[in-house]
Structure 1
């Protein structure tokens, strides 16, 4: 692999990050894959601890002309956080603080390396709730969720990540640190730059801080399983539920083929004529 990280760039990164600039192959291997199954070994990995270090890295990347690939926990199934063309992987796991949880304003300020599951548990202790729940929420970061606009089963009732991002601190490719958005529920003045950044997967800038909207924790939750002899009955039943004004937090539909697969690993505890489970 031809290198794009010059000796001068490496020296500056070593000085900036000290032991948080990784070059040894054994260290780089941990950043060479994601959940896609693809593998691309980066030339080096930077683990900044704050926005100022991120800004310095991006400014240097412009000066020395090397690619930077932002990375969260590496749970993507697309290869997005991989150094496909070489360059520097920018791990944001070092920015991992919950800076503020405000139960009065129903907002929180967090850094991108905070894990979604960790955040949910902190909120639950305070009677608060952050709905976005991608399948990987226990081991994916909030920064990664925002960068990909992650959704989840609760999107049915509560929406997806973009519906809970009020403001963002972003380091632009030039190294400038900017804040866009607000800390209030209502915000209708000016350009909606937050919506532009959410889901942009690091192509427009690196997110270093997020202001997130919270909700009061639901007083109770319950799960209900309904069995149907035809899949069309399941679809009709769900539509009747929604039209009747009962919108569940989440809904899953298992067809006959899926139920057969489940029965190979778990006891079959549904009626014999079941062809769909809602």
Structure 2
């Protein structure tokens, strides 16, 4: 039971089963030459689960316009060492609120640090099904473990945080529509209805398409597609006419052969 302290004594026995007290040892014992006795450091049972929480658990979501990927970053400060002793931590991620993470696979294991030290963890969006995705919410949970591995795997409020990954594509200045016609009052195509209260612009439903149409690679691909389409319009009628000419020639050849066969039968 919790709080019980004990030690283990190992003694020698002869073949008759009699203990020989001259030979043996005690667990965690050290010989004291002054008192000529063994000083025993008892081992106390520890089956209590740590309930420590980290400090200042925070989260942030960022967007890299060059890589076109979102990144989730969480940070926290390691707590002071209390009566539960030095701890290690596992980090988990879920898409629903859970009371416990007993049967989940952790993202990281064995995390630890000096008291007050700030730790961070980041996840980058990717094509993998296990990766973070846009317009989804995630729950990151830290679970403490003591030196002997005790843990109740319970999700505590101060050790968990919710993160919602918003689509931040339009937040990048490079992806926003030009100021002309939106915030430039001197422009010929100025649209006052496009300006909202915070002096920013509302985006048209096809704004991303317009942004792609203005890019060089997209225009080059469009030029190639139009050229292929024109070639098809020119070549298909030519091939149809060629097919008709060949078909007529084959028909005439068959007719001449049929007449030749009739003359041969007549003379035979």
> TM class by shorter-chain length?
under 0.3
- Which structure has the higher relative contact order (CA within 8 Å, separation 6+)? 1
TM-score normalised according to structure 2 size: 0.21
Max Rg structure:
2
Higher helix share: 1
Higher strand share: 2
TM-score normalised according to structure 1 size: 0.20
